[in-house]
Chain A
């Protein structure tokens, strides 16, 4: 029918082309018609083809511009197309970057830091509230509250520091942590306070009831603690006092130095006759020295006061220590007292030195004052006589007139007369002045002597007291040692006495016991004999009983063994039945369903867990439908092989009809060995379909269904899908065979175990 239609169509076409009812000739005419326009039609053809190609290329480029996936595909499939696209469109856009998670993160971080700030504020409020509370609470509370404040402030600081860092676990946990530490801190001081109170009360109640040794130990411990605290106190006080005293002594020495310097400089300034400008520098230096001296004297005075205060404090501490009356502390107290005494002595000597220096300085200053006064007086008189002449009259010999000189000389003479008269007067008054001065000096000497004597007495008294105390200490120690030895002797005597008393008592008791009646001995003898008889009889009975038991057990075990043997036999029979059903496979049909045989096995070995497990391990299809035999699988394999060869090229990516055609072509043209021994290890090249199939064929021919199944399992793509069912059947068969062989091996083993050799 097709040919008829085609003929009809041709004739219709011919009629259209070359007019109506023209015979064969016009065909040639038509042909000549068509051949005449060959030149222009060739050009037309060329132009049309160029247009087509250009249109195709342009369309491809436009579409690639619009769809990047299409562009990627074309670039992949057509070589050098990526360069053309690069020229025409520019480089391809990179795949879109996933930006969203990054944007989300900073938002989260800022929100977390804000949460931190919020959480800090309530904590600050908490701290403030706690600061207000101490006013309401009693005295013992403020101390723990302060520490609590500090602690909570510290906690808030730490937490705020943590909050600055972005990567941090959930803030909820931190808040929970922040709340327990303040709570814990609060709990701890209160608990501590309570605990110390509790400790004191039971301690006071317990002591009278406790043992003497414990009490003594406690006392010793308390003494020890006090001693250590005392010695540390003493040492501290001594140290500070020594430091301050040394400072004071140093300050005094410095003052001494300054005073001596000042005095020296004053004397120099008095006696030296220097020109006026140097004089002024000298006076300035002197003023500096004076200020220096006054400053150092003040410092020294302050240091001495401080040292005296420290010494008093030390004395107070030592007195307090003496009040406690602990024997062991005496040597340290004595040493402290000696130190104190020496420091006092040093301080006093230095102070006296400074005072003598100061008195000397006073004399020199008075002397200088007098000299200055005289000089000033002289200057005034000179000025009154010769007002226009300056002080520096040495260099004025040319400027003075004769009158001036005369008046000067007259004035000088008058002055000398005056001086002589004053001198005479002075000589007369000298004696009176000396007497009065001597008297004054005597008075002062007496006072100084009294003071010195009193201080020396004080020192001596202190010294003697210290020595006495030392001696007292020594004798006390000696007494203590003697008393200890005496006590030891007494304790030893006591133990000896106790031992003797115990010995005597033992002797008495033993004699009493040995005086017991002789009749009782006879009775015990008789009882012993009967007991022996009973014992031997019991032994015999036990032996007989044991033998009876042994016999019974032997019989039972025989019964059990027989039972076991019977069961094993049954199991073996049922497994053999299963084996037999496996052999009933016809060439292309599966076996009988194995269900009945498996049921028999399960019944025959109801208690045997291993056999039960194996029986249930059989695949359900073999139970319901049966399995194929190896022979049928082998036969089926060849059909599968043909088909697998034909679709070897087909997989998920290549599956068009054209690929199918190519695959068929390949199967027709490719020749491989019908059977090839598979290597021990499969390499990558061995995974080719054809090779795999020849390996599988070889293994099948040599009866190794398992290896064949493994090899067929390596197929890929459509070949694999084609072989899927065969593979499934092969697996079923293999599984069933494996389980059955295990069962029969087990049945044989059990049978061997229970069979008795004749």
Chain B
């Protein structure tokens, strides 16, 4: 069903952003503790990167159908 597609995409987005944010945070904490003498900024940096990656992924996922030729919808017209 085409109307359920958007919902599925958004679900994927959220899950993906949660994973990325968590990973960013984790890596940030690790780097902050190990290399940067417990400064705050690597954590922020890691979180930001995670958020950015999640954002881009979500956007690309939502745009995906526009780049790939639509085979299901157009078959009715042909």
Contact = CB atoms under 8 A, between A and B. Distances in A.
B38 A16 contact: yes
Contacts of A10: 40
B76 A731 contact: yes
B58 A639 contact: no
A657 B59 contact: yes
Contacts of B43: 5-6, 9
Interface string B21-48: 0000100010011000111100110000
Contact of B62 (A13, A16, A655): A655
Contacts of A160: none
Given A657-B62, A660-B62, A721-B73, A643 B38 contact: no
Interface stretch (A269-277, A685-693, A722-730): A722-730
Contact of A726 (B3, B37, B72): B3
Interface string A2-28: 100110111011011000000000000
Nearest to B21: A2
Contact of B63 (A643, A655, A722, A724): A655
A350 B29 CA distance: 148
A615 B50 CA distance: 59
Main secondary structure of the interface of A (DSSP, over half): helix
A728 B38 CA distance: 59
B2 A721 contact: yes
B53 to A, nearest CB: 13
Interface in A196-229: none
A12 B32 contact: yes
Given A5-B25, A9-B43, A724 B2 contact: yes
A379 B21 CA distance: 158
Nearest to A15: B38
B68 interface: no
Given A655-B63, A657-B59, A660-B62, A722 B29 contact: no
A725 B69 CA distance: 17
Contacts of A718: 6
A652 interface: yes
Contacts of A304: none
A640 interface: yes
A643 B3 contact: yes
Contacts of A9: 29, 32, 38, 40, 43-44
B1 A725 contact: yes
Contacts of A725: 1-3
A723 B25 CA distance: 39
B25 A728 contact: no
Contacts of B40: 9-10, 12-13
A657 B54 CA distance: 11
A12 B62 contact: no
Given A5-B29, A8-B29, A647-B6, A728 B65 contact: no
A121 interface: no
Contacts of B3: 636, 639-640, 643, 722-723, 725-726
Contacts of B29: 5, 8-9
A657 B16 CA distance: 14
Contacts of A13: 38-40
Interface in A648-664: 652, 655-657, 660
A202 B73 CA distance: 85
A723 B6 contact: no
Nearest to A658: B59
| B interface, over-half SS | helix
Contacts of A640: 3
A385 to B, nearest CB: 144
B55 A722 contact: no
A12 B29 CA distance: 11
A171 B62 CA distance: 60
Interface in A706-750: 718, 721-726, 728, 731
Nearest to A643: B3
Given A5-B43, A12-B39, A722 B2 contact: yes
A731 B63 CA distance: 27
B55 A657 contact: yes
A125 B12 CA distance: 85
Contacts of B33: 12
A174 to B, nearest CB: 47
Contacts of A636: 3
A652 B73 contact: no
B25 A2 contact: yes
Contacts of B37: 12, 16
B54 to A, nearest CB: 10
A640 B4 CA distance: 9
Contacts of A8: 29, 38
Interface in B52-78: 55, 58-59, 62-63, 65-66, 72-73, 76
Contacts of B59: 655-657
Contacts of A723: 2-3
B24 to A, nearest CB: 11
A756 B2 CA distance: 54
Contacts of B62: 655, 657, 660
A726 B76 CA distance: 13
A12 B38 contact: yes
Contacts of B76: 728, 731
Nearest to A640: B3
B39 A655 contact: no
Contacts of A2: 25
A21 to B, nearest CB: 14
Interface string A297-309: 0000000000000
Nearest to B37: A16
Nearest to B44: A9
B68 to A, nearest CB: 13
Given A5-B29, A725-B2, A655 B38 contact: no
B60 to A, nearest CB: 10
A731 B73 CA distance: 13
B12 to A, nearest CB: 13
A572 B62 CA distance: 51
A657 B51 CA distance: 13
Nearest to B65: A721
Interface in B3-17: 3, 5-6
Contacts of A16: 37-39
Contacts of A722: 2-3, 5-6
Contacts of B65: 721
A652 B76 CA distance: 20
Nearest to B33: A12
A652 B66 contact: yes
Nearest to A656: B59
8 contacts: A5-B29, A8-B29, A9-B32, A16-B39, A657-B55, A657-B59, A724-B73, A726-B2
> Lowest 9 A-B CB distances belong to which pairs?
A12-B38, A13-B40, A725-B2, A724-B2, A9-B40, A9-B43, A657-B59, A724-B73, A725-B1
Given A13-B39, A643-B3, A652-B66, 18 more contacts: A8-B29, A9-B29, A9-B43, A9-B44, A10-B40, A12-B37, A12-B39, A12-B40, A643-B6, A655-B59, A655-B63, A656-B59, A721-B2, A721-B73, A723-B2, A724-B2, A725-B3, A726-B3
